Copies of this chain bind each other. A is one copy, B any other.
Amino acid sequence: MLETVQDTRQRLLEVAEQFYAERGFEGTSLRSLTDAAGVNLAAVNYHFGSKRNLMWEMFSARIEPINTQRMFLLDKVLAGPELPTLEGVFDALLVPVFDVAQGPNGANLIFLRMIGRVFSESEEFWHQLHNQFFDVLCRRFLDAIVLAEPKLSPEEVAWRFHFSIATMLGALGTHKSLNRNCASVPTLNGNDMDETCLRLRNFICAGFRGAQLKP
């Protein structure tokens, strides 16, 4: 194995992502984490100060480049001469996630599950994460959707956006289990991230457009 030698800090971040994705915050012990990373238990507090800070920095390192890219793509959609489309807006939201998931060594399903698990965190931790990483982003995307669907009231947009986010997070969180959720269900090829992303985007856009309360 000619892998690049990684320092302790980086190894901790990588194993933290995997363990968090598989077991959640409370379910991950620092002992099991440092054992799997091949580093000393005390290294967590030396490099990060606490278990919580380790997880926070792991999440931050993953989500901030994605959110930067989301904003960049959204700005591009909004800068055009025409009104934005739902497809353009939701592509800006989804494509950066699946770009990261489509790693060089095959689909990074751990990463998807980690992202999807965040929203079932305990209330306080989730609230802090949301304020730090999603509040502004959420507002920007809502404003863009109002432009894309000008006939809908803000409340109507809020409802449909809520379901759209629920679909995205639910799909990310359950993605790893695709092939065994139902024993007798056809196997889904969940390794092609581009196809998964496009299917998800099409589902969300269609749901959004067709979700009028009274049929």
Known contacts A26-B26, A122-B23, A206-B207; decide if A166 and B155 are in contact (CB<8 Å): no
Flag whether A88 is at the interface (Cβ < 8 A).
Answer: no
Tell me which of B27, B163, B209 contacts A122 (CB under 8 A): B27
Interchain CB contact under 8 A, A182 and B122:
no
Cα of A204 to Cα of B135 in the assembled complex, Å: 26
Complex copy number for this chain: 2
Interchain CB contact under 8 A, A162 and B174:
yes
Known contacts A142-B185, A188-B155; decide if A120 and B173 are in contact (CB<8 Å): yes
Interchain CB contact under 8 A, B213 and A202:
yes
Cα of A138 to Cα of B161 in the assembled complex, Å: 27
A2 / chain B contacts, CB cutoff of 8 Å: none
A168 / chain B contacts, CB cutoff of 8 Å: 170
Cα of A173 to Cα of B162 in the assembled complex, Å: 12
A101 to chain B, nearest CB (A): 15
Known contacts A24-B26, A122-B23, A177-B126; decide if A162 and B167 are in contact (CB<8 Å): no
A177 / chain B contacts, CB cutoff of 8 Å: 123, 126
A206 / chain B contacts, CB cutoff of 8 Å: 206-211
A22 / chain B contacts, CB cutoff of 8 Å: 122-123
A185 / chain B contacts, CB cutoff of 8 Å: 138-139, 142, 158, 161
User: Binding site of A, secondary structure by majority: helix, strand, loop or mixed?
Assistant: helix
Q: What sequence of 0s and 1s flags, for each residue 123-166 of chain A, a beta carbon within 8 Å of any chain B beta carbon?
A: 10011001000110011001000000000001100111111011
Q: What sequence of 0s and 1s flags, for each residue 163-204 of chain A, a beta carbon within 8 Å of any chain B beta carbon?
A: 101111111011001101111111010000001001110111
Interchain CB contact under 8 A, A182 and B123:
no
Q: Which residues of chain A have a CB within 8 Å of any CB of chain B?
A: 22-27, 116-117, 119-120, 122-123, 126-127, 130, 134-135, 138-139, 142, 154-155, 158-163, 165-171, 173-174, 177-178, 180-186, 188, 195, 198-200, 202-213, 215
Please name 7 pairs of A and B residues whose Cβ atoms are closer than 8 Å in the assembled complex, sorted by A. A119-B174, A139-B184, A155-B186, A162-B174, A163-B167, A168-B170, A202-B215
